[in-house]
A and B are shown apart, each in its own frame.
Chain A
């Protein structure tokens, strides 16, 4: 009896020691990361909330102005334009980007030769720096010296303004953006397709499903979570559209390519209206948060009903 009691005490002691050493080691291992990541996200986030209630000019703290910045937001034609442009980009890019990504992923998922070569080609624009790609396409679409206009002229079509034409610039940017992001969609879809159990597709074949019905009734529903992820990811990415605008049009011509993040950057670091910039940033944050949650909720609901 006495021995079992002793063993229990020893076990409890050991357990205690392990847990205590776990506390020390766990915190020691994770503290640097936790400190940096949380310190550089939640503290600035709260600070930004305060800034958005002031007329800070970035260098000085400014005065408390209450909700004046948020009131000004609703009457800001530039913000409205930036919002519309960003949404337009999403509308132009997302459906095509996802559909084309899935299409190519399906082709690559077959037992096809050169798959490594194709994957490399499709991923290179995603990996290379967007700043360099912006400069490159500024050159390719240059109205005077660009190869695209030279090509148009060679086949007898009129030269275009492209990035210098207010009604074309955003479309050109959407095309370039598609080119940079396409590979990512392909790779993610390809991984999802490779995860579909072969038996499911075989079962569908046995039940007499053709290629199209297999696609619509087996593949598309199975990879819906991935589609939702890519949709959310794409939306967040479009909402943060900056590098391409900065390296090509700088928001012009006539604000036709002004995007939300470019506008925030201009407000805070060019016009030094940091308080107002923070307010715009908060609007951006809540919009993308709502969109994300809505998309996730939609994805989950659809998965349950399937």
Chain B
């Protein structure tokens, strides 16, 4: 490491020679082996650990393809004899699972669309437009992060009950339309956004909404992707509020529906595991595709 400082190019120094010296130093380091051996032996720690992390999911998938007799055998079967899809057909045919899945898709989809629009509008306003009361509002919005949902849930239920939203998907969508976290994510993104482009748009006679829609939003795609992924995962996984707001089976989300399996299918573990596979699959798919953005979003939200 200290060698690198000595290798800094001196003004007038030949760059090719400089590069050659760096390469020579790297080769020496590689030969001495510290870069190869020292970190790589940690795979012995990391590999078992990471396998333990995903092993329960592997077991979940394996069990979902077993027959109930295979599962109930003592000692249990590790590998299904053949791909038995009885659990899946049981879940899909003899429960309201298809409804739940569709409901979850509707709620999460609506949440994503609404947050992309509303959070970016609000985040842009707080980051870029000077208006009366903006600072106070921003502080109030961020302060809501300190209010646990468990405190507000009882009156929220009463409010939604009074306006007749309880037991409808509307009760699940309305609280997800926007979020303090989403506003904050977009706010911090727009703060580091180059001003010149918007000014050029304004001079060309665009209204603020046109500037936002035609210039700002297309360039905000990375932040929007991160926000969309986080919102989807959060909305899809939510259990507490849907459990309270929904009472009829056809309006359940997958998470709530899944919990009803507990008592009902006590011995049908293959069906329960098939249900959990179908429930986790969409989120894991979104996560695997957008992992980089997801990590950026959660670390970005912390650093700010």
Contacts and interface: CB of A to CB of B under 8 A. Distances in A.
Contacts of B149: 240
B2 A42 contact: no
Contact of A129 (B39, B140, B177, B237): B237
24 contacts: A26-B131, A27-B133, A29-B208, A36-B174, A40-B152, A40-B175, A41-B144, A120-B291, A125-B56, A129-B283, A130-B237, A131-B237, A131-B259, A138-B262, A153-B75, A179-B56, A188-B299, A195-B303, A240-B148, A246-B259, A264-B150, A264-B153, A268-B157, A281-B150
Contacts of B284: 124, 127-128
Given A25-B208, A111-B39, 9 more contacts: A29-B124, A33-B178, A34-B122, A34-B141, A38-B141, A40-B152, A128-B237, A132-B255, A187-B295
B233 interface: yes
Given A48-B151, A120-B288, A123-B287, A22 B122 contact: no
Interface stretch (B10-18, B19-27, B47-55): B47-55
Interface stretch (A3-11, A63-71, A139-147): A139-147
Nearest to B209: A25
B130 A19 contact: yes
Interface in B249-295: 255, 258-259, 261-262, 269, 272-273, 275-276, 279-280, 283-284, 287-288, 291, 294-295
Interface string B122-165: 10111001111110010011001011111111111111010000
B154, B179, B272: most-surrounded residue (chain A CB, <10 A): B154
Given A135-B262, A229-B302, A44 B35 contact: no
A247 B122 CA distance: 36
A34 B125 CA distance: 11
Contacts of A140: 56, 59
Given A122-B50, A202-B2, A268 B122 contact: no
B178 A32 contact: yes
Which 5 residue pairs of A and B lie closest in terms of their CB atoms, listed nearest first?
A26-B131, A121-B50, A44-B152, A29-B125, A47-B155
B1 A202 contact: yes
Interface stretch (A90-98, A285-293, A298-306): A285-293
A119 interface: yes
Contacts of B212: 29
A171 interface: no
B244 A265 contact: yes
Contact of A289 (B146, B153, B261, B269): B146
Given A34-B137, A111-B39, A124-B54, A104 B49 contact: yes
A39 B39 CA distance: 52
A191 B298 CA distance: 10
B31 interface: no
B186 to A, nearest CB: 10
Interface string B226-241: 0000000100110110
Contacts of A84: none
A236 B148 contact: yes
Interface in A275-299: 277-278, 281-282, 284-285, 288-289, 292
A11 B53 CA distance: 63
B116 interface: no
Interface in B79-138: 118-119, 121-122, 124-126, 129-134, 137
Nearest to B269: A139
Contacts of B124: 29
Contact of A150 (B75, B121, B140): B75
A137 interface: yes
A125 to B, nearest CB: 6
A30 B180 CA distance: 12
Contacts of A139: 63, 269, 272-273
A127 B119 CA distance: 22
Nearest to B179: A37
A221 B74 CA distance: 52
A58 B276 contact: no
A215 interface: no
A177 interface: no
B45 interface: yes
Contacts of A183: 53
A213 interface: no
B125 A37 contact: no
A302 B49 CA distance: 33
A235 to B, nearest CB: 12
A112 interface: yes
A32 B288 CA distance: 32
Contacts of A268: 153-154, 157
B259 A247 contact: yes
A107 to B, nearest CB: 5
Contacts of A43: 155, 159
B43 interface: yes
Contacts of B194: none
A124 B57 contact: yes
A136 B51 CA distance: 17
Contacts of A38: 140-141, 144
A304 B261 CA distance: 53
Contacts of B158: 47, 58, 274
A278 B151 CA distance: 7
Nearest to B122: A33
